[in-house]
Amino acid sequence: MTTKYDDKILALTDNWKFTNDIVRKIGGDKSAIIEALKMLKIIGYLQIKPDKNKIVYKKNDQIQSEFNFLMMMDFFESNQKMAINFINQIPTLMKSDEIRLREKSLDLLERIQNDVDRAYLVIIRNNYHEQLGLLSSQIVQERNKKLDVYIKKIVDVILDKYPQKHIRSAIQKYFQNNNAKFEFKIS
């Protein structure tokens, strides 16, 4: 999936679970798990409800409404604008040895990878709901097209900013090592 916690969260949330229960059962970085919970909620994979002063989570098997899809796309595009802004601010992704990526570059590529993976999750879910007859083909095509445009935009920005062959090769190597589904043209 996306973060290393997403699969585990979805496996644990067949029934309503408190945040602390999820964190305790998964183990690991609490803030990263909570961030993964928020992202899974935004993309429609989890439902939430308040229970006294706490929030409980449950896997959401319902189709995503048009409103929720548009809200998710707003969130994705907001993240994308921050990433594009960051890309425009840094002069290079490479360390001075021109072989390895800088730490900030790795963080940026990881954020891009997570956002793109989440977009692919929504595409997969849309296609699944289409196969079940819960969403029409037209709606699925429109949503998937918006997601594809979203994915293509961030990839195009980073490749346009860094046309040098050695930088593109390093970016390609990073995404290939992380199972990304990008296509690169290195000239």
Q: What is the pLDDT of residues 13-42, one digit of tens each?
A: 989 999 999 999 998 888 889 988 988 888
Q: Where are the domains of the chain?
A: 6-59, 66-177
Give me the torsion for CA of 108, 113, 119, 124, rounded to 10°. Answer: 180
Whether the full predicted model's pTM is greater than 0.85, yes or no, is no
Q: What pLDDT is attached to residue 187?
A: 38
Count of positions (residues) in the chain: 187
Average pLDDT over residues 46-74: 89
Select from 3.10.20.30, 1.10.10.10, 3.20.20.140, 1.10.510.10 the CATH code of 6-59: 1.10.10.10
Q: Three-class SS of residue 46?
A: strand
Give the model confidence (pLDDT) of 82-95 as tens digits. Answer: 999 998 888 888 88
> Closest Cα to residue 138, out of 148, 126, 152, 149?
126
Q: Report the alpha-carbon distance of residue 53 to residue 71 in Å, rounded.
A: 25
Average pLDDT score over the chain: 85
Q: What pLDDT is attached to residue 69?
A: 92
